[in-house]
Chain A
């Protein structure tokens, strides 16, 4: 059914269609509307046989999810930003225990300075936690990925983070196709856990493992991610057959065939990028776009194959690893070893800064001329940075940086 609907609510509807048995909720912007809607569905009876637990922290949210999943219940929660960091210990625990929890991450920056707007810093902080990490490009894909996620998680017994850009997707209203219950039921079989806490068949779950087997446990976690590289395209295909839509898979390509320059990105930025390269194509060569829908596991071989004819790869990413550069770029450089191309990193959209088509086009023009630095910060206010650096050179006790910059911005405007 077509509906004009907010991204968050659409995700909540998708989750409800998956018949979760336990949902844990803790509010954090910008995922809050998702769990609010889930709570409403449980209260009104739209979602039945589901326990909705309002918890006291994100750490508890995922911990309740861990207990519920270990007891054999299909379990869902959502978080963002600081919330993800607050539950970090449980994030690793859920994957270590192989519990197929599905969690939405409404991507948002991490403080300090406190900032509630979108970037991918939160997701990047947990990239090695053993979760499968899917990124939605659109709200339709966010909705669809949740339905796929439960099937994938339960098939592999692995938790999944479905990442969607905070505000840009979570708060955007669009016309979306909401599947009907029968179609979702046909696509998503009932949850049969690999292990469950059951008095009739008692297991001990979460035993201490020493050096004699820890490497093997971790290897198997890696192997599970490699299995996901095969299962995700299968589920993508099966979803297409069931629902008649392209959603998910490992990554999406746009005009990549024959393109010497390809931009790689994740999330909603892909839409703006596609517009930017199309406009740019009127004056120069066609630039391709790849948007990753699966970030963990990192589809190394598949990306290498897709990019084997590219000579310039530009990764536009919404997180920075201070002192190192771009995280996705590092992964991609590993994937492209031996391919005759260079990989440039563009950091964009931090803390909700709009990433505009003109900015992207101007960056791409420089890239095509070979003028782009290895690590480029899109729309960086150089004057503001230089003035603060100058203040710091003058003395040590120069005060809090964030406040200095805000004062600077008030004084100098947006020059």
Chain B
């Protein structure tokens, strides 16, 4: 169950319309290491997670990722809301515009639609937590790449906030992996899946 809070997790006030950077940033909306995939990954993995504190962590981080998904949507919206047909033609935004006008649609920067194959929910504690650690680093790399391509200070400020959250979540998943390893029987560490065999 969720409740909607009528505010963004981090405030956004982008003054300058810029369809070029919108097309890059949309990758964190629906791209391979984006916030939608992040949220769906954690919220899907938690059902079979046998350890309540780790299932709780997946729920809480999955929930925060939804707030990040909303922030990325808001950034793309603010970067494109005042576009003129002329600007759309001259900025490379036309291929997106023809299918979606100025609406948000989850896709990667290269135009590939969001796909659940971009994340895993494997039903094995060790496998899933390693996926989560990698996912946080992949998202951090994407934010680093965005920061190299974008100069707008209003956009960079929000992207830096999101980048820092990837690092914190990586830390929490590392702690979760250590907790899980401590709970597993050392004798059959690699032969036993507590999400299935117990």
Is chain B a partner of chain A in the same complex?
no
Q: Interface residues, chain A, CB within 8 Å of chain B?
A: none
